[in-house]
A and B are shown apart, each in its own frame.
Chain A
Amino acid sequence: MRSSLWQRLLPFLTLIALFVGLIIATPNFFTSTNLSSVVRQTAVINIMALGMTMVIITGGIDLSVGSILALAGCLGTMTMTSGTMTSGTMTSGTMTSGYSVPAGIAVGILVGCLAGLLNGALTTRLRINPFIVTLGTLLIIRGFALILTNGMPVQNVPKGFSFLGEGSVAGVPFVLLILLAVAAVVHVILEHTKLGRYAFAIGSNPDAAFYAGIPVKFHTTVIYGICGMLTGLAGMIESSRLMTGQPTAGQGYELPAIAAVVIGGGSLRGGEGSVVGTLIGAFIMGLLSNGCDLLGIQPFVQQATIGAVIILAVSVDELRKRI
């Protein structure tokens, strides 16, 4: 086993304890309205965190995800509105064709993918530390989104677009289904494909991977591309919930995404991380902030609590490794 049973269970038990604790502490927690709102609120970060998991496993990091989310959201929604923009003051979306929504979502995902590939290419070809590269692209991509939209949100998106972020299928939030599907795909990639295995090997020892004949640069770039793709998808969900394309969306989202991976047992040194761990990490943070809201705890205290949880989770993990 890559990790002991205890270590696998500890974050999960924490999540369960938190869940049960909140059921006892407040009657408003275990209601379908509240639970589905938790799912909707956390879905965007969760999906980004899954992409981030792959990048962190290769020993990299992507600080630019918040900006990618905004750019993908803007270009995706602009695609949807390109038909109506010309007709000026039309009320939202009546003129658009039936294809504009899926086309816009596809554009958003594609934009994210390209941005991710750019990060990967810069990191591997110029041999610059990914922290620096993505710090740079964080600013570049954000700037690009602002220039593109002139700093104004993209309005008048088709009504049907709201289904992506706010719709339900048989009472289940649609975003939950998307999240589960993404999680399943990322899990299969990491545990059952060559690409996933190479990601672990590259993160554990890039030199050994290179000497074993693995095309390290190519696979690293692909991983960044996938991370960007998932971030693009997250960007479209965020836009759908806001029903606008916001060039300022997603600021600071990279931190909770990284935190979710780390709480879930991922290591910034590379070679460690899992889908289940990241999901647990993301939900622990989601429940903490939801619980604080319901219990009327100040948002300032919330932030401090989540910060403490991050440090606690990682120190427990480090302690286990030393034994």
Chain B
Amino acid sequence: MLLQLEGIQKRFGGVTALRQGTLRVNSGEVHLLMGENGAGKSTLMKIVAGMQTADEGRLLWRGQPATFRSPRDAAEAGISMVHQESLLAPHLTVAENIFLGREPSHYGFVPRQRLMQEARHLIEQYGFPLRADMQVRELSPAGKQMVEICRAIRHGSSLLIFDEPTSSLSESETKEVFRIVAQLKTRGVGVIYITHRLEELRTIGDQVTVLRDGETVHTSALAELSMNQLIKHMVGREVSAVYQRSPIARGKVRLKVTGLSRPPLLKGIGLEVHAGEILGIGGLIGAGRTELCRAIFGIDAIAAGSIEVDGVPKRIGSPREAVAAGLAYITEDRQKTGLALGLPIGQNITLASLDRISQYGLLRQAEERAVETKFMHRLRVKAAGPKQLVGRLSGGNQQKIAIAKWLARDAGIFLFDEPTRGIDVGAKAEVFALMEELARQGAAILMVSSELPELISVADRILVMKQGCLTGELPGGCTQEQIMHLAAFKESVH
């Protein structure tokens, strides 16, 4: 037994994050840690990695009671964490980052040559797709993730913790991460792996532990568990893994895009979204899906093409004009571009519609309160009240606020970019139900998603993009293989 956690408790002020955290990890095992957002996974892992200390409970490391008071403590014992957001120094090279804080030194001098050599050796050994002398800021998110993994391995860890490592990676990059996890496993390293992507579990996991409301509710071999059982453990009730859509009658065309180009990222995109329709956009990372949303919403200038809203040609050169035309954009990164995390929930909800609840620049407060309460209630936001800061909410509730902002604005055309990224199963179902409700009320919805099962079950039609071009159209309910074929292999018409 490599790591054993028994009855771990942790409180933050009046909030109990963990009441009964139990976990056992063996060497050479990939242990999945599952649970909804706020279930206590991250807190439990922070305790293991020395970023926080437990209030109660026992931590046994290789059979001995241990307490890690700092990440350095944990690293010295052989525990490293690969973080979701990269904690690297962007201006230093890959090699320098790998050895950061633990440089091989010779009387205080760092021998550059040796550093570079050791980094190259490590990279070759595992076959990382990296170059030791590149600056980290030039790397893709996947590349940064790889550097994080290199760092952890270099520290000679016998337990690696991955916190949602693939949430921002493409299919092929994800495979690369899995390959490295498999290699670590064969070398006898224990791996704890946190993920929200249900479909990727089977490929890598051995054991699974499920946390719910700060308690370990289930532990078993992954093979003994069906997907639906797993979800049931996570949410504590029966939820189908696949969203059940009911059909909506399609209305007239609300958004029409013709010949939209922004070389080299977008080439001659044409599409129509009808009232009551959810149009899915599939494709690999880098296919130009987010760029399409950004171009339609006026964030990036387009080289050619036209946009019609409800049959009227619109010149959209800025988000302001897009909003005025009735468009809404729920971005893929709500923390960076969707929400003002330091402001209260209420102010985030009304942010895009202040001109409607103000007169001569003065805000009509009663009206604002009414809007805030209405949408918090309608979206069932779990919070103390409209004055609570958005930054303190869970991912699912944050996403609801990001959506509420546009509902308050009465938008009619919605661009959803990765609407379920980083939110838990229960919240996903709520987001889909909301999208369906909007469609039923006559909204036109464009939905970009990398989660193929979601795309297939939610969208009425799916357009697939590859390298900035549309490569084909599929009906809702098509197979994942059909989408992948168009996304990866189909030669584009251009």
Chain A residues engaging chain B, CB cutoff 8 angstroms: 1-2, 192-195, 197-198, 200-201, 204-205, 207-215, 271-272, 323
> A214 and B320 in contact (CB under 8 A), knowing A194-B363, A209-B351, A271-B343?
yes
**Given pairs A194-B354, A200-B343, A201-B351, 5 additional interface contacts (CB within 8 A):** A193-B362, A194-B358, A205-B340, A213-B323, A271-B343
B132 within 8 Å of A (CB atoms) = no
Report B8 CB to chain A, min CB distance, Å. 21
Tell me the bound Cα distance from A265 to B158 in angstroms: 45
A213 touches B342 (CB 8 A): no
Q: Which of A2, A197, A205 contacts B339 (CB 8 A)?
A: A205
Q: In the complex, which residues of chain A have a beta carbon less than 8 angstroms from the beta carbon of B354? A: 194, 197-198
Q: Chain A residues with Cβ under 8 A from B363's Cβ?
A: 192-194, 197
Instruction: For residue A45, give the distance in angstroms from its CB to the closest CB of chain B.
Output: 27
Whether B101 is near chain A, meaning CB under 8 Å from some CB there, is: no
Q: Of A194, A201, A215, A323, which is within 8 A of B340 by CB? A: A201
- Is residue B438 contacting chain A, with contact meaning CB distance below 8 A? no
Residue of chain B at shortest CB distance from A269: B342
CB distance from A33 to the nearest CB of B (A): 41
Query: Nearest CB to that of A197 among chain B residues?
Result: B354
For residue A271, which residues in chain B have a CB less than 8 angstroms away from its CB? 340, 342-343
Do B340 and A200 touch across chains, with their CB atoms under 8 A apart?
yes
Report yes or no: A213 in contact with B324, Cβ–Cβ below 8 A. yes
A209 to B336, alpha carbons, bound, how many Å? Answer: 10
Complex contacts, A1 vs chain B, CB 8 Å: 387
List of B residues within 8 angstroms of A205 by Cβ: 336-337, 339-342
Tell whether, in the assembled complex, residue B320 and residue A197 are in contact, meaning their CB atoms are under 8 Å apart: no
**Contact partner, B338, options A194, A197, A211, Cβ 8 Å:** A211
Q: Is A204 a contact of B340 with CB atoms below 8 Å? A: yes
Q: Find A207's partner among B13, B320, B337, B344 (CB 8 Å cutoff).
A: B337
Q: Which residues of B contact A2 (CB under 8 A)?
A: 343-344, 387, 389
A194 to B338, CA, bound (A): 19
B343 engages A204 (CB within 8 Å): yes
B355 sits at the interface (CB 8 A): yes
Closest Cβ–Cβ distance, residue A270 to chain B (whole Å): 8
Q: Please, what's the 1-or-0 string for B309-320, where 1 marks a CB less than 8 Å from any CB in chain A?
A: 000000000111
With both beta carbons as reference points, the residue of chain A lying nearest to B297 in the complex is identified as: A211
A205 to B402, CA, bound (A): 13
Given contacts A197-B347, A197-B354, A200-B347, contact A212 B405 (CB under 8 A): yes
Complex-state Cα separation, A213 to B354, whole angstroms: 11
When distances are taken between beta carbons in the complex, the residues of chain A under 8 Å from B405 are 212
A56 to B366, CA, bound (A): 28
Q: Mark B387-398, 1 if CB is under 8 A from A, else 0.
A: 101000000000
Asked whether B319 lies within 8 Å of A212 as measured between CB atoms, the reply is yes
Give A213's nearest chain B residue, CB to CB.
Answer: B323
CB distance from A54 to the nearest CB of B (A): 14
CB contacts under 8 Å to A, within B322-360, are 322-324, 329, 331, 336-344, 347, 351-352, 354-355, 358
Q: How many angstroms between the C-alpha atoms of A192 and B13 in the bound complex?
A: 33
B389 — which chain A residues lie within 8 A by C-beta? 2
CB-CB under 8 A from B343, the residues of chain A are 2, 200-201, 204, 271
Contacts of A323 in B (CB 8 A): 13
Q: Are A211 and B299 in contact (CB under 8 A)?
A: yes
Separation of A209 and B405 alpha carbons in the complex (Å): 11
A128 CB → nearest B CB, Å: 21
In the assembled complex, the Cα of A263 lies from the Cα of B13 at a distance in Å of 26
Smallest CB separation, B386 vs chain A (Å) = 11
Contacting residues, chain A, for B361 (C-beta < 8 A): 193-195
Q: For chain B, give the interface size range.
A: 20 to 34
Q: Is B365 close to A, CB under 8 A?
A: yes
**A198: B residues at CB distance < 8 A:** 354
Q: Are B340 and A209 in contact (CB under 8 A)?
A: yes
List chain A residues, Cβ under 8 A from B322.
Answer: 213
24 contacts between A and B (CB under 8 A): A2-B389, A192-B365, A193-B361, A193-B362, A194-B355, A194-B358, A194-B363, A197-B347, A197-B351, A197-B363, A198-B354, A200-B347, A205-B337, A205-B341, A208-B337, A208-B351, A209-B340, A211-B297, A211-B319, A211-B331, A213-B320, A271-B340, A271-B342, A271-B343
A213 CB contacts on chain B under 8 angstroms: 318-320, 322-324, 352
A208-B339 contact given A192-B363, A200-B347, A213-B352, CB 8 Å threshold = yes
Which chain A residues lie closer than 8 Å to B352 at the CB level?
Answer: 212-214
Separation of A1 and B344 alpha carbons in the complex (Å)? 8
Give A211 to B363 CA distance when docked, in angstroms: 21
Residue contact B320 to A211, C-beta cutoff 8 Å: no
Contact B338 A208 (CB under 8 A): yes
CA distance A195 to B389 in the complex (A): 20
- Flag if B342 contacts A211 (CB, 8 Å): no
Give Cα distance in the complex from A18 to B358, angstroms: 41
Q: Residues 50-84 of chain B: 1 if any A CB is under 8 Å from the residue's CB, otherwise 0?
A: 00000000000000000000000000000000000
- Residue on A nearest B12 in the bound complex, by CB: A323
Chain A residues in 8 Å Cβ range of B320: 213-215
CA distance A192 to B344 in the complex (A): 15
- Chain A residue with the shortest CB-CB distance to B405: A212
The closest CB in chain A to the CB of B365 belongs to A192
* Interface pairs A-B: 9 shortest CB-CB: A213-B323, A204-B340, A212-B352, A204-B342, A271-B342, A205-B340, A213-B320, A207-B337, A194-B354
- Cα(A200)–Cα(B365), bound, Å: 17
Q: Which of A195, A213, A323 has the most CB of B within 10 A?
A: A213
Q: How far, in whole Å, are A271 and B389 apart by their CA atoms in the complex? A: 12
- CB closest chain-A residue, reference B354: A194
A211 to B320 alpha-carbon distance, docked (Å): 8
Residues of A within 8 A of B355 (CB): 194
**Complex CA–CA separation, A207 to B13 (angstroms):** 32
Q: Is the CB of B336 within 8 A of A207?
A: yes
Given contacts A193-B358, A195-B361, contact A212 B351 (CB under 8 A): yes
Chain A residues near B319: list those with CB within 8 A.
210-213
Residues in A neighbouring B338, C-beta threshold 8 A: 208, 211
Which of A2, A200, A205 gathers the greatest number of chain B CB atoms within 10 Å?
A205
* A201/B347 contact (C-beta < 8 A), A213-B322, A214-B320 known: yes
Q: How far is the CA of A205 from the CA of B389 in the complex (A)?
A: 13
Cα A213 to Cα B356 in complex, Å, equals 13
| Residue in chain B with minimal CB distance to A1 | B387
Evaluate contact between A192 and B347: CB separation under 8 angstroms. no
Chain B residue at smallest Cβ distance from A2: B344
Instruction: Give CA–CA (A147, B91) in the complex, Å.
Output: 44
Contacting residues, chain A, for B329 (C-beta < 8 A): 211
In the assembled complex, which residues on chain B have CB atoms less than 8 Å from the CB atom of A195? 361
**B406 nearest in chain A by CB position:** A212
Distance (whole angstroms) from the CB of B17 to the closest CB of chain A: 14
Residues of B within 8 A of A201 (CB): 340, 343, 347, 351
Name the CB-closest residue of B to A206: B340
Cα distance A315–B375 in the bound complex, in angstroms = 37
Q: Are the C-beta atoms of B323 and A208 separated by less than 8 Å? A: no
Q: Is the CB of A212 within 8 A of B323?
A: yes
Report A272 CB to chain B, min CB distance, Å: 7
In Å, the complex CA distance between A146 and B13 comes to 57
Inter-chain CA distance A214–B342, complex, in Å, is 17
- Measured between C-beta atoms, what is the minimum distance from B437 to chain A in Å? 22
Cβ-neighbour of B342 out of A210, A215, A272 (below 8 A): A272
Bound CA–CA A211/B341 (angstroms):
14
